[in-house]
């Protein structure tokens, strides 16, 4: 409860606003003095939020040169030099930094891996850049990884008619428009007659593009008391900030690099990022770094080894490696059909959700391009919208009204709290895919059978995935041995234990461990037809010998319990014989031979 004299509904509206506490307190003071209605309060709050958004992105929402990261093409990595300034957003604060300084700093504090001469590291979760979309709009997107590699002997420097410049390696890929379509071209194939996409107004001083963001449909979504839910992470600054324009190349020249390394960002989609000036570049390579998989966190090393020998019911980071049937494995579009059948799709991935307090309704504006992408076999997006509306009705128990790509519904009785509760429940509904699998990464790999697309999932549901069309059930696996046991039996679980344990050791450089040791462990864990852990709750705790159990863990408890129940230790095993000082029954200790004096028997 707040100390201000306002109604519960007004308090809920203010507390739900994405504003600092200082501004919320100011709002409480204003609303208390004016004695406004709930609808009027909502309009005031939303106007404040809208102004706050504008102030947060001014003046550092200028955008500039959009450069691209090839996702793992060894030897042809397009990159930009150390002192190329880039626009980034961290924790909703925009900034202009030198890419080399940023990447070097991340390499210093984060684990990196060398891939064909490229040092690659995962980016922090809160790092975003402005990225070009296929429809020429520019939006904030998360950086998936950063990388650097040795600078080549020469770089290309492009100057556009406005004075913007961009330096990059010769393999750096750009885009241009041919017959109305955007097509990728290599940097060394461009001429001074070509036009490149740019964003923002540019002046040589201070050499930063000045771009006033035109937030797509923002005013419309904030009218009538609407509370816009921008994305799953509820960003304060709207994601889409404008549209790219086209500008002619004035000159192209070759320059020598001044620094040891050149640098890249990896971003999903068109793999583009934005420097402080304004030229859009793009890369079309279809191969991926290790980080395509590494961005799915997987427990490794000793923690993973403990998971395996403890036979944990659920690994800390469940994941699956999904192989595809021939026609799906060779065609990226067909592979994506399988991706959307596996990856869980929730409402904030499909469009914008807003609440209208005046009419007490939740409104969903579905994105047609997203519907076509995630339902590739359905020709009419409106049919998908109808299916989504039916799912909402059955899941929330409401009457949903669907008109085209817009869906509206609300609580039975007018209540702001119930309205917000419906929104929260709506965000948890899975409209397509498997609920336990939150993300799928697609990667092109060179296998014994040739190149093919392989899927890596964050989350696991082995049984359901095996039943999806296009999945090769004979090769697909997961890191949850209990799921394998339930679906394929104990022999498959034993094989998985051996493989997972061996892979874990090899990742830590222990590939010289004889696999027979691991096979023996797996045999002991599965020889009863189930999966037992190695520990006091499993194999070690179920030994017949009292002394053997006591030697493993909780010694006093085992001895006391055995004494109470009058257990007898036959001293048949190695451990118990060592404890009491007797020879173990192995080798010479297993032979009973006596010598007697006297005459030899006839």
What CATH number is given to the structural domain containing 228?
A: 2.170.16.10
Same domain? 285 vs 366: no
Residue 290 vs residue 534, higher pLDDT? 534
Question: In this predicted structure, what is the pLDDT of residue 232?
Answer: 38
Do the domain assignments include residue 433? no
Task: Give yes or no for residue 487 having a pLDDT over 90.
Answer: yes
Element (H, E) at 119: strand 118-122
Q: Cα(447)–Cα(445) distance, rounded to whole angstroms?
A: 6
Same domain? 42 vs 161: no
Same domain? 202 vs 242: yes
Same domain? 140 vs 177: yes
Order of strands across the sheet that contains 401-403: 226-229, 351-356, 361-366, 406-409, 401-403
Same domain? 148 vs 208: yes
Do the domain assignments include residue 47? yes
CB 184 within 8 A of CB 175: yes
Q: Among 153-162, 226-235, 327-336, 450-459, which is the least confidently predicted range?
A: 226-235
Question: Which structure tokens are listed for 522?
Answer: 């797996």
Do the domain assignments include residue 177? yes
Give the CA angle between residues 292, 297, 303 to the nearest 5°: 140
Question: Which structure tokens are listed for 135?
Answer: 């429809």
Report the percent of the chain where pLDDT is more than 70: 79
Task: Give yes or no for residue 497 having a pLDDT over 70.
Answer: yes
- The residues, any chain, with a CB within 8 Å of residue 356's CB and separated by 6 or more, are 224, 225, 226, 362, 363
Residue 75 vs residue 511, higher pLDDT? 511
Same domain? 194 vs 112: yes
Do the domain assignments include residue 276? yes
Question: In this predicted structure, what is the pLDDT of residue 550?
Answer: 82
Question: In this predicted structure, what is the pLDDT of residue 68?
Answer: 35
CB 30 within 8 A of CB 58: no
Task: Give yes or no for residue 205 having a pLDDT over 60.
Answer: no
Task: Give yes or no for residue 73 having a pLDDT over 60.
Answer: no
Across 45-49, 99-103, 201-205, 548-552, which has the greatest mean pLDDT?
99-103
Question: Which structure tokens are listed for 223?
Answer: 């009218």
Cis peptide bond N-terminal to 46, omega within 30: no
Question: In this predicted structure, what is the pLDDT of residue 183?
Answer: 66
- Of 48, 99, 281, nearest to 187 by C-alpha is 281
Same domain? 232 vs 156: yes
| pLDDT, tens only, 466-480 | 999 999 999 999 999
Work out the pLDDT band at 53, boundaries 50, 70, 90. low
Last residue of a domain, which of 255, 290, 325?
Answer: 290
Same domain? 365 vs 276: no
Task: Over range 316-345, report the average pLDDT.
Answer: 90
Question: Which structure tokens are listed for 275?
Answer: 């420097």
Same domain? 117 vs 214: yes
204 CB-contact burial (10 Å; exposed 0-12 / middle 13-18 / buried 19+): exposed
Do the domain assignments include residue 399? yes
The enclosing domain of 402 has a CATH number of: 3.30.1360
Task: Give yes or no for residue 212 having a pLDDT over 60.
Answer: no
Task: Over range 577-583, report the average pLDDT.
Answer: 85
How many structural domains is the chain composed of? 4
Question: In this predicted structure, what is the pLDDT of residue 23?
Answer: 75
Question: In this predicted structure, what is the pLDDT of residue 278?
Answer: 63
Question: In this predicted structure, what is the pLDDT of residue 324?
Answer: 93
Residue 568 vs residue 203, higher pLDDT? 568
Do the domain assignments include residue 217? yes
Task: Over range 477-492, report the average pLDDT.
Answer: 93
Question: In this predicted structure, what is the pLDDT of residue 373?
Answer: 85
Work out the pLDDT band at 100, boundaries 50, 70, 90. confident
CB 540 within 8 A of CB 554: no
Task: Give yes or no for residue 496 having a pLDDT over 90.
Answer: yes
Task: Over range 425-440, report the average pLDDT.
Answer: 91
CB 443 within 8 A of CB 454: yes
Same domain? 80 vs 213: yes
Task: Over range 66-95, report the average pLDDT.
Answer: 61
Same domain? 25 vs 52: yes
Question: In this predicted structure, what is the pLDDT of residue 231?
Answer: 36
| pLDDT, tens only, 280-296 | 655 433 333 333 344 56
Do the domain assignments include residue 525? no
- Of 353, 354, 352, 356, nearest to 225 by C-alpha is 356
Task: Over range 423-432, report the average pLDDT.
Answer: 91
Question: In this predicted structure, what is the pLDDT of residue 473?
Answer: 92
Do the domain assignments include residue 495? no
600 CB-contact burial (10 Å; exposed 0-12 / middle 13-18 / buried 19+): exposed
Q: Among 5-14, 30-39, 64-73, 433-442, which is the least confidently predicted range?
A: 64-73
Residue with tokens 């684990």: 111
Task: Give yes or no for residue 222 having a pLDDT over 50.
Answer: no
Same domain? 49 vs 159: no
Task: Over range 411-431, report the average pLDDT.
Answer: 87
| Domain boundaries, position 29 | 8-57
Across 138-152, 521-535, 587-601, which has the greatest mean pLDDT?
521-535
Average pLDDT, the chain: 77
- The residues, any chain, with a CB within 8 Å of residue 584's CB and separated by 6 or more, are 574, 577, 578
Question: In this predicted structure, what is the pLDDT of residue 360?
Answer: 87
| pLDDT, tens only, 179-191 | 666 666 777 778 8
Output the pTM of the full model: 0.51
The enclosing domain of 565 has a CATH number of: 1.10.150.390
List beta partners, residue 121.
112, 146
Ordered DSSP codes for 502-530: HHHHHHTT-TTS-HHHHHHHHHHHHTTSS
Element (H, E) at 238: none
């Amino acid at each position: 409860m707040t100390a201000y004299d306002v109604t519960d509904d007004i308090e809920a509206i203010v507390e739900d606003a994405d504003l600092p506490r200082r501004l919320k307190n100011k709002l409480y003071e204003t609303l208390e003095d004016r004695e406004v209605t709930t609808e009027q309060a909502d309009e005031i709050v939303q106007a404040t939020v809208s102004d706050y958004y504008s102030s947060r992105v001014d003046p550092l929402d200028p955008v500039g040169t959009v450069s691209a990261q090839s996702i793992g093409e060894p030897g042809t990595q397009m990159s930009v030099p150390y002192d190329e300034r880039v626009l980034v957003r961290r924790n909703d604060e925009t900034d202009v930094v030198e890419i080399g300084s940023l990447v070097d700093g991340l390499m210093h504090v984060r684990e990196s891996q060398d891939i064909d001469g490229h040092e690659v590291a995962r980016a922090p979760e809160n790092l975003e850049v402005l990225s070009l979309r296929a429809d020429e709009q520019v939006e904030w997107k998360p950086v998936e990884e950063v990388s650097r590699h040795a600078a080549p002997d020469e770089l290309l420097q492009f100057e556009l008619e406005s004075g913007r410049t961009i330096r990059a390696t010769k393999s750096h890929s750009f885009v241009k428009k041919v017959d109305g379509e955007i097509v990728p071209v290599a940097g060394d194939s461009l001429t001074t007659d070509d036009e490149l996409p740019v964003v923002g107004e540019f002046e040589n001083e201070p050499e930063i593009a000045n771009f006033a963001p035109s937030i797509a449909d923002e005013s419309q979504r904030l009218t009538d008391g609407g509370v816009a839910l921008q994305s799953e992470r509820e960003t304060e600054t709207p994601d889409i900030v404008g549209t790219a324009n086209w500008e002619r190349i004035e000159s192209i020249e070759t320059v020598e690099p001044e620094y040891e390394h050149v640098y890249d960002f990896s971003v999903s989609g068109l793999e583009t990022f934005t420097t402080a000036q304004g030229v859009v570049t793009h890369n079309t390579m279809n191969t991926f770094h290790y980080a395509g998989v590494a961005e799915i966190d997987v427990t490794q090393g000793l923690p993973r080894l403990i998971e395996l020998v403890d036979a944990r019911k659920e690994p800390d980071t469940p994941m699956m490696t999904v192989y595809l049937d021939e026609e799906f494995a060779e065609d990226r579009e067909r592979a994506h059909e399988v991706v959307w059948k596996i990856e869980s799709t929730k409402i904030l991935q499909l469009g914008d959700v807003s609440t209208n307090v005046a009419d007490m309704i939740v409104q969903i504006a579905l994105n047609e391009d997203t519907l076509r992408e995630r339902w590739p076999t359905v020709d009419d997006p409106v049919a998908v919208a109808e299916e989504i509306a039916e799912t909402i009705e059955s899941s929330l128990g409401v009457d949903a009204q669907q008109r085209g790509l817009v869906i509206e519904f609300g609580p039975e009785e007018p209540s702001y709290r119930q309205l917000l509760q419906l929104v929260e429940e709506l965000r948890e509904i899975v409209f397509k895919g498997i609920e336990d699998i939150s993300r799928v990464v697609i990667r092109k790999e060179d296998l014994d059978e040739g190149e093919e697309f392989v899927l890596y999932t964050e989350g696991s549901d082995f049984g359901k995935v095996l039943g999806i069309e296009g999945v090769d059930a004979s090769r697909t696996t997961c890191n949850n041995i209990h799921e394998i046991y339930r679906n394929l039996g104990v022999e498959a679980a034993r094989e998985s234990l051996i493989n997972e344990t061996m892979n874990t050791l090899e990742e830590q450089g222990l590939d010289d461990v004889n696999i027979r040791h691991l096979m023996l462990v797996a045999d002991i864990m599965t020889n009863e037809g189930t999966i037992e852990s190695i520990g006091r709750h499993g194999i070690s705790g179920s030994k017949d010998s009292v002394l053997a159990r006591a030697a493993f863990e909780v010694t006093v408890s085992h001895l006391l319990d055995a004494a109470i129940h009058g257990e007898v230790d036959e001293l048949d095993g190695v451990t118990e014989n060592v404890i009491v000082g007797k020879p173990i029954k192995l080798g010479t200790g297993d032979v009973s031979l006596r010598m007697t004096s006297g005459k030899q028997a006839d």
